[in-house]
Structure 1
Amino acid sequence: MFSVRQDEKAIEYTQDGQMLGEITWYLQGDTMVMDHTYVSTTLRGQGIAKQLLDEAANYARANHYKMQPLCSYVVTAFKRYDDYEDVKK
């Protein structure tokens, strides 16, 4: 299950109450600076990181934010996929 963390600075992926993945950011004005992506080794290779980024992009769109990649996963994903053109800073 994907959800926005209570402090609104991360999207978390949980299974059976255990957090197994997250993508985090900090805000600079209207920009989400994407600073960390984590996926448990038990789930790697299953597209969870991309789903976390998709959820974060939807959050950015809903809140009229832009996204600036800082962590290596988001940098690579922004280059690889066209899905985020509207939220890229």
Structure 2
Amino acid sequence: MTAFRDVRAEQRFEQGFVDEDGQVRAVFADYAVQGETRVILHVEADPALRGTGAAGQFMQALSDHARAEKLKLAPRCGYAVAWLKRHPEYGDVVA
């Protein structure tokens, strides 16, 4: 796994995860900036990572990042909406 990072120039959060063949593959979330809120437009995992839990680990890292940076998340992507609903412990970062 690689470190979670905010690629501000691309308005994208991303993190790498190792697939079953040992290759590093990406999970990312595109976002829009609205002040201190990041509107999560789309979350996507490389197809080789689907079903491995990588997207959930990414969402946890994203939520931890938002908390540490005092940001709010406004999910618009169906996956992000569902994940945040299943994890009420991150309710403080939801806009």
Letter in 1 for 2:52: Q
Gaps of 5+ in 1: none
1:79 aligns with 2:80: no
Query: Please, what TM-score do these two structures have when normalized by structure 2?
Result: 0.78
Q: Secondary structure at the match of 1:46?
A: coil
State the Cα deviation string for residues 35-72 of structure 1 (Å, max 9, x = none). 11111221111111111111111111111111101111
Q: Which residue of 2 aligns with 1:13?
A: 16
With normalisation by structure 1, the TM-score equals: 0.82
The answer to whether the 8 A contact 1:26-1:33 is kept is: yes
Offset at residue 19 of structure 1 (A): 3.9
Correspondence for 1:3: 4
Q: Is the 8 A contact 1:12 1:23 kept in 2?
A: no
Match of 2:31 in 1: 25
Query: Is the 1:13–1:21 Cα contact (8 Å) retained in structure 2?
Result: yes
Hey, what's the Cα distance between the residues in 1 that align with 2:23 and 2:4? Answer: 12
Structure 2 stretches lacking a partner, 5+ long: none
CA-atom RMSD in angstroms: 2.1
Q: Percent identity between the aligned chains?
A: 27
Match of 1:50 in 2: 56
| Amino acid in structure 2 at the alignment position of 1:75 | V
Structure with a larger share of its residues in helix: 2
Give the letter for the 2:61 counterpart: E
